[in-house]
Amino acid sequence: GLDEGWLDGEGAPLAPAALESARTTVAELLRRETPAPRLYPTPEGGGQAEWTVGNCEISVTFQPDGSFTASQSTVCLASLMN
């Protein structure tokens, strides 16, 4: 795991709730044949999963408390609207 200060002296270790949320969410998406994401820690102790699908950039941020939010690029939104 990541130690306290992993990011140039800053950065919290990955919170267990964020890890579990990411693990279950990504596992469910992979069962649905979604491409594997790129995974990154966040300085707050959460994690982020990112996918590139065509012109779309999709991101899911997992918070230290286990909650998460999803977003997609404006390029993706524009292509969906055309």
**Per-residue model confidence as pLDDT tens digits over 59-68:** 999 999 999 9
pTM: 0.85
List the one residue out of 38, 76, 44 whose CA is nearest residue 62.
44
Question: How far is the C-alpha of 41 from the C-alpha of 27, rounded, in Å?
Answer: 17
pLDDT tens-digit series, residues 18-61:
999 999 999 999 998 888 999 999 999 999 999 988 888 899 99
pLDDT digits (tens, 9 = 90+) for 1-12: 899 999 999 999
Res 80 pLDDT > 90 = no
